Chains A and B, each alone.
Chain A
Amino acid sequence: MSIVLETRNLTKAFFGITAVNNVSIHVNEGEILGLIGQNGAGKSTLMNLVGGVVQPDDGTMLYMGKPYTPRGPADATRERIAFIHQELNLFTNLTIAENVFIEGFPTVGRGPFRLIDRGAVKKLTQQVLAAVGLDLSPDMPVDRMSPGERQLVEIAKALYLDASLIILDEPTTSLTNRETEKLFEIMRQLRAQGKALVYISHILTDVLAISDQIAVMRDGQLMTQEPASAFDINRMISLMVGRSIENLYPPRTSQPQADSLLELRGICAAGIVEDVNLTVRKGEVVGLFGLMGSGRTELARMLYGLDSYERGDIVVKGQPVKRASSRASIRNNVAFVTENRREEGLLMNINIADNIALVSLPNFANPVTQVINKNEMLSSAGQVANLLQLKSGNIALQPAKALSGGNQQKVVVAKWLLSKPSIFIMDEPTRGIDVGAKYEIYGIIDQLAAAGSGVLFISSELEELMGMCDRILVMSRGEMFGEFQRSEFSQEAILRAAFREGGNGNHHGQRSNGQ
């Protein structure tokens, strides 16, 4: 049994933040390596290094015993390393065959008369499709296929490349149980053929069931790599979490009150969220935790009125919302700090003051002529910027894009603060900002609660939720799978709920595993 891939002291930093720190792992021929860790632990970055998507700052890689330094994904493909990404990289407008052969079609003829050999394309595609057990026409457009079928097409593509190493990054997030079983079946077949596989997943039971070796990462570092037999779920979780959280969070200065500001009753949207109930009270910070694909962001978007839902009621301050829309939410004093600053939060090319004033513009305008009182607007925007200690140049001139990430986030928060909302939905408000700015955002959240607002704090960083929230709700595959009061907070218990390994919520729908 030989080693297919080995990394030695691999290190990679982005903008001064070390994503992968001195990591040495190895993948054997005919084995599946399970790679686990929390969000942001560095799993994806490590695999991007292997796949040539990014280049290491330090350390080396050995592939088939030879030094391996990919300059781009094409180098990895040439070395027959297949990388199946978290978000599928298929062209949905093209057919299966076109997707399989996108990196080089078989041709007939030569010179200027080189043409794609349609017959060969069709035959080869049928072969690889049969190998993954897909009974579909090679001419079927990918956008007519289910997520599971698409995943299998990605694997078919890897088979066509005759890959020796196949990396699967969270392949099961969008698959049904049956599709997952089928995927595992094929993974076992590939293993039997002597291929090496790396399997990244949040579903620990799956990892435990299918892997030969397991590597655990935390904060960019490899905690351990051992045979799968050395692990149980508890050990996996305790290796993934850790680190003390004192002094990273400001003390909470208020207690939740009794009156509820926001209630969700039985919100359903097929395949996204199922029968979700939720309450946010006055002065309360409620954390919403879940893994990628758990439906937390989707729920927030429905509740704010950006996406539609099929059944259920949204009740704001005792009044049911008839038709949720962003304008209705703003009228109801609901604010939504979106996950994605660049696309959904800011007008990057426009000055800071206009960004801050955007939501509350009508408040600065003459009700008849709609003419804006510019001085009043500028001074109000300036006050909020001051309050949040925004570090900027002249707010009337400097465009938002000239600010650092943390200050951009403050502008988004400032925009909503100015409209004086009483319910804040914050989706990943600290993503991609430095520790100091995070502390300031936490401080703002505490002040909002102290002033009687309700905050729904959505995050994939469990630690910050435990540091700031009065209560944490855990979502898993569209369902509420657990609720924890501050006194019950424990990383292990909450993660177990997120992984559906326990929790104190309703257990229906939990998937039984193949093995």
Chain B
Amino acid sequence: MSTIDERVEPAAGLMTAATRGARSRQPSAPWMAFLWRLLLSDYFVLYLTIIFFVVASFFFPTLSAPGNISNQLSNIWPLLAVAVGQTFVLILGGIDLSVTSIMAVTSVGGALLMTQVLDGPTFDKSPLWGTLINENGGLLSGNPQAVLIAVAFMLLLGTLIGLWNGFAITRFKMAPFMVTLVSMIVFSALALWLTASRNVSGLPADFVLLGKGDIVSVFLGPKLNPDIARRDVLPFITYPFAIAVTLAVVAHYILGRTVFGRHMYSIGTNRRASEISGVPSQRVIMLVYAFSGFCAAVSAILYSARLEIGRPSLGDGLLMDIIGAAVIGGTSLFGGKGTIKGTFFGVAFFILLLNILNAMRLSPFVIDAVKGVVILTAALLDITRTRLANREQRA
């Protein structure tokens, strides 16, 4: 009996202190109190994105045009897929710089396998010409299972590269930055070498469907003909949507609900303490890098299918967007912190930002500079939010 009393009392005392502290700090004006709550909310970035969208639509009406929304949504899904894997790595306190090169090499690898036709004069400089590829396309050209096998190959390749990163980091005790930087350079070069720097076209129609197939589409406008032309239909729920969201939901559950997820957070917070407490850190780290490679491959499939090519420069310039989206979503580069939900909001925010900057017709260099400033601001804001939330907890 007495033990229960003793436990309840300080807890109750703490609660009143907390509410008192919060009340004294919170400004009396209700709109300020509202802003305060907004700032500390898990959904802060989502609210910010919505506000941003509404305000910007006022200045750039094209932003809220259905065609633009449909287009921007389709930009979100491939980026989300690769950002999910990066979020996992960042939670461990690591970093995966190689994701863009994994995307490039899986993109061209898959494409070279399943392409139906190749242009001789351009591809005869590829080291694979005459053995694995020729005028009739790749090894799987004409094979009825070509798409299935090629997709499986791409996923496997991405996972294996990620596994190699994880292996080098855990077994050789090398810095993640170093290992993944080398992977980035090596696999990017490999992608360029295999294709002689050319895009690989002639992909099977079934594959292209993965990037463009729609589930729910809307036709807006007057119905003049009985047949609606394909390009007039605006897809909102698409195959890429289904694929990326499934991946994100699975990742969300792994992170939040499983032993593996708890272990990831604990390694990212304090690896030494985790190991003493029996967390199999090497295994977790290896699997997480493998997962990051897998996610990059998924992203490569979505991008390649949408572009209808295997592209050796696929991930170029994307790294800042990927890490930026995760950081905007509240993932800490110090490890131990981050959610898939946050990364999703971060991706949406980032795509919106790019959309607005493009609508402003700024030069790509200015756009890059603005992106950098936004990422820095987001990181700073997150530190402030964490400090405020801690104070709330401590009061």
Contacts and interface: CB of A to CB of B under 8 A. Distances in A.
Interface stretch (B54-62, B139-147, B257-265, B374-382): B257-265
Nearest to B262: A361
A115 B253 CA distance: 60
A346 interface: yes
Interface in B156-206: none
Interface in A313-359: 326-327, 329-330, 336, 338, 343-350, 354, 357-359
16 contacts: A329-B278, A343-B272, A344-B273, A346-B273, A347-B273, A348-B270, A349-B336, A349-B337, A350-B266, A361-B262, A372-B262, A389-B7, A391-B7, A392-B14, A393-B15, A398-B393
B223 interface: no
A253 interface: no
B263 A361 contact: yes
A189 interface: no
Most chain A beta-carbon contacts within 10 A, residue among B18, B266, B270, B280: B270
B390 interface: yes
Interface stretch (A49-57, A119-127, A363-371): A363-371
B11 to A, nearest CB: 6
A503 interface: no
Determine the main DSSP class of A at the interface with B. Answer: mixed
A117 to B, nearest CB: 36
B258 A393 contact: no
Determine the main DSSP class of B at the interface with A. Answer: helix
Interface in B365-379: none
Interface in A382-412: 385-387, 389-394, 397-399, 402
Contacts of B393: 393, 397-399, 402
B394 interface: yes
Interface in B322-338: 336-337
Interface residues on A, range: 35 or more
B262 A402 contact: no
Contact of B266 (A338, A358, A398): A358
Given A358-B274, A371-B257, A389 B390 contact: no
Contacts of A347: 265-266, 269-270, 273-274, 336
A336 B276 contact: yes
Contacts of B266: 347, 350, 354, 358
Given A347-B269, A393-B14, A365 B276 contact: no
A350 to B, nearest CB: 5
Contact of B4 (A338, A386, A392, A398): A386
Contacts of B259: 361-362, 365, 370, 372
Contact of B276 (A344, A361, A389, A397): A344
Interface in B234-274: 253, 257-260, 262-263, 265-266, 269-270, 272-274
A415 interface: yes
Nearest to B270: A347
Given A386-B7, A389-B6, A392-B11, A350 B265 contact: yes
A306 interface: yes
Contact of A370 (B260, B276, B280): B260
B30 interface: no
Contacts of B274: 347, 358
Contacts of B121: none
B336 A350 contact: yes
Contacts of A359: 277-278
Given A344-B273, A393-B15, A402-B394, A330 B262 contact: no
B3 interface: yes
Nearest to B337: A349
A370 B277 CA distance: 18
B276 A306 contact: yes
B316 interface: no
Most chain A beta-carbon contacts within 10 A, residue among B259, B273, B336: B273
Interface of A: 304, 306, 326-327, 329-330, 336, 338, 343-350, 354, 357-359, 361-362, 365, 369-372, 374, 385-387, 389-394, 397-399, 402, 415
A326 B257 contact: no
A348 B269 contact: yes
A343 B4 CA distance: 32
Nearest to A373: B257
Contact of A391 (B10, B18, B253): B10
A458 to B, nearest CB: 15
B42 interface: no
B42 to A, nearest CB: 13
B279 interface: yes
A40 B276 CA distance: 27
Contacts of A329: 278
B272 A344 contact: yes
A397 to B, nearest CB: 7
Contact of A394 (B11, B258, B394): B11
Nearest to B273: A344
A343 B11 contact: no
A349 B383 CA distance: 13
Contacts of A402: 390, 393-394
Nearest to B263: A361
Interface string B266-310: 100110111111111000000000000000000000000000000
A343 B270 contact: yes
A302 B86 CA distance: 36
A399 B270 contact: no
A349 B14 contact: no
A432 B249 CA distance: 44
Contacts of B265: 347, 350, 354
A415 B277 contact: yes
Nearest to A374: B257
Interface string B1-39: 001101100110011001000000000000000000000
B394 A386 contact: no
A451 B253 CA distance: 39
The 4 closest A-B pairs by CB, nearest first: A330-B278, A347-B269, A370-B258, A393-B14
Nearest to A371: B257
Given A327-B280, A338-B273, A370-B260, 10 more contacts: A330-B278, A344-B272, A346-B273, A347-B270, A350-B265, A371-B253, A372-B259, A389-B3, A392-B10, A393-B18
B278 A326 contact: yes
Nearest to B11: A393
A19 B194 CA distance: 70
Nearest to A357: B262
A499 to B, nearest CB: 32
A329 B277 CA distance: 10
A369 B263 CA distance: 15
A266 to B, nearest CB: 25
B277 A326 contact: yes
A365 B259 CA distance: 7
Contacts of B4: 386
A329 B276 CA distance: 10
B29 to A, nearest CB: 28
Contact of B278 (A327, A345, A354, A397): A327
Given A326-B278, A336-B276, A399-B393, A346 B270 contact: yes
Nearest to B9: A391
Contacts of A365: 258-259
